[in-house]
Structure 1
Amino acid sequence: MFDFSVFASAEAWVSLLTLTFMEIVLGIDNIIFISIVVNRLDPAQQKRGRTIGLVLALLIRIGLLMSISWIVGLKDPLFSIDVPWASHDFGVTGRDIILLIGGLFLIGKSTTEIHTKLQGEEEHEGATPTYTSMGRIIVQIVLIDIVFSFDSILTAVGLVDNVLIMILAVILSMGVMLVFSGVVSDFVNRNPTIKMLALSFLIMIGVMLVMESFHKEIEKGYIYFAMFFSLIVELMNMRLRKKSPPVQLRESQYD
């Protein structure tokens, strides 16, 4: 079914390594989302939830790669909408619908998580913690996996034209993410400011998906640079907070 002789050339190995790296970068937002939603599970089930989430992401991406012609076909318009202020009709594709639903879901879910954290609805001293069922968490992970997988697959199609290389890159990248997902999850959930930053990133990615559904492309390099810069600043703040006492706010003279 697959021609493994393609790996006799150095070009194939370079393509595999490049695409694997790209898949890992594009999978960071997926890991962040899984880490946050899995935190609502019983602690004894969280590792299992992360593993199931990433395995499902792997299976979904491989399944989509095996249907590459269908994926490419999703970029063809299903119907058109007459937009008065535009010079031509707006063609709505299957990809647009998926990105719009996924983007709105990501914005809504992240906003709800921020509200819950700031209002303190999860934690009350002496109260018995309530956990979400594994099934409900898996459904959320599958929904967002589908959306992120489309982004990943379309990137792969743009870089490589060999399905075998794409599948191997996805497997390798998911293996790396599976190894480090626990470390990332523990770090995010152990540091409230990092968790807020991660949720803000997810809102930004959700907005980007919504914009793409309306054919307004946003350069992903800008998004990832903003995420990386914000993370570096917060890590520096965390280091400074360990070395010095917290700043005390002055009382207002009008109190």
Structure 2
Amino acid sequence: MELLLDPNVWIAFAMLTALEIVLGVDNIIFISILVGRLPVHLRDQARRLGLGFAMLSRLALLFSLSWVMGLKDDLFQVLGQGISGRDLVLLFGGLFLLYKASHEIFVEVEAREEDGPPATDAATMKAAGSRMFWAIIGQIAVIDIVFSLDSVITAVGMVDQIGVMVAAVVASVGIMLVAAKPIGEFVDRHPSVKVLALAFLVMVGMALTAEAFEMHVPKGYIYAAMAFSLAVEALNLRARAKRLAHAAAAGQENRATSS
């Protein structure tokens, strides 16, 4: 009860929740893009499973803090550079994110039809949808672990009460769960925003890979660049909408004149 009445605890909870949400932006984007490849009726379920696994992985790491902190210890050296368990997780996670984001950009820009013609048999379509669903859940689970490790290490550096950390993780994932669907639908409606989001994931993958070799790239730089790019794209979307509205109005006027 004393813990709940302590204002410092509530300040720490608010700050950590906000930080977890910021650190979870790249996770939401990754999930939204992958889920967008699924049939519409499976997307909500995939989002819930993806973010649910993100919360479970964060909580599991929080309850094994001694093991997580041990990941910072060097396992071996390469050319005089110490390599720890955390470095390996960040390296493989960063490389996976680079590959996946680059592949999705290629599919979006150059090879939308690379999967061939759609199956017409209902059973075949159902089986293919099920395989794709679990393949995407598996990919989300892999990247969730990478993002969770970064998130938990940051949380440990800010707060020393495990209860506050758990509450902040649950609250942040709950907020992300609410935000994931509108973000995913917005990205699906605007292909240029999707490519921009994928480029953002490429930047995050490069940052994770650099972090594995002790070359720290402040995430503030990445988020600032992304915010600027999104602001420019928002202006482009507004200008495009105005052009379409003017074209539609001109078309209506022409049809009225000709009639």
Given the two structures, how large is their TM-score scaled by the length of structure 1?
0.88
1:127–1:137: structure 2 CA closer, same or farther, 3 Å change rule?
Answer: closer
What does residue 249 of structure 1 align with? none
Query: How many residue pairs align between the two structures?
Result: 237
* Residue 26 of structure 2 corresponds to residue 35 of structure 1: no
Amino-acid identity (%): 46
Shift of 1:122: 3.6
1:146–1:125: structure 2 CA closer, same or farther, 3 Å change rule?
Answer: closer
Shift of 1:7: 2.2
What does residue 164 of structure 1 align with? 163
State the secondary structure of the residue aligned to 1:121: coil
- For residue 48 of structure 2, the aligned residue among 27, 48, 51 is 51
* Residue 130 of structure 2 corresponds to residue 109 of structure 1: no
How do 1:124-143 and structure 2 match up within 5 A?
127-128=118-119, 131=129, 133-143=132-142
How do 1:76-225 and structure 2 match up within 5 A?
76-81=73-78, 83=79, 89-122=80-113, 127-128=118-119, 131=129, 133-225=132-224
The 2-side partners of 1:113 and 1:220 are apart by: 23
* Residue 67 of structure 2 corresponds to residue 70 of structure 1: yes
The one-letter code matched in structure 1 to 2:95 is L
The 2-side partners of 1:61 and 1:124 are apart by: 35
The one-letter code matched in structure 2 to 1:34 is I
Note the alpha carbon deviations across 1:132-163, whole angstroms, 9 max, x for none. 52211111010000000011111101111111
Note the alpha carbon deviations across 1:23-75, whole angstroms, 9 max, x for none. 00110100000011111222110110001000010011000000011111100
Shift of 1:17: 0.3
Shift of 1:5: 3.3
The one-letter code matched in structure 2 to 1:148 is F
What does residue 234 of structure 1 align with? 233
1:9–1:234: structure 2 CA closer, same or farther, 3 Å change rule?
Answer: same
State the 4+ residue runs in structure 1 displaced beyond 6 angstroms.
123-126
The 2-side partners of 1:148 and 1:124 are apart by: 29
The one-letter code matched in structure 2 to 1:60 is S
Contact 2:107 2:114 in 1 (8 A): no
Unaligned runs of 5+ in 2: 120-124, 245-259
Given the two structures, how large is their TM-score scaled by the length of structure 2?
0.87
What does residue 21 of structure 1 align with? 18
Shift of 1:241: 1.2
Shift of 1:125: 11
Structure with the higher fraction of residues in helix conformation = 2
State the secondary structure of the residue aligned to 1:244: helix
Shift of 1:244: 2.5
Note the alpha carbon deviations across 1:56-103, whole angstroms, 9 max, x for none. 10011000000011111100101122x2xxxxx211100000000000
Note the alpha carbon deviations across 1:188-234, whole angstroms, 9 max, x for none. 11100000000000000000000000000011111111111111110
The 2-side partners of 1:150 and 1:201 are apart by: 20
State the secondary structure of the residue aligned to 1:182: helix
Note the alpha carbon deviations across 1:152-181, whole angstroms, 9 max, x for none. 111101111111101100000000011111
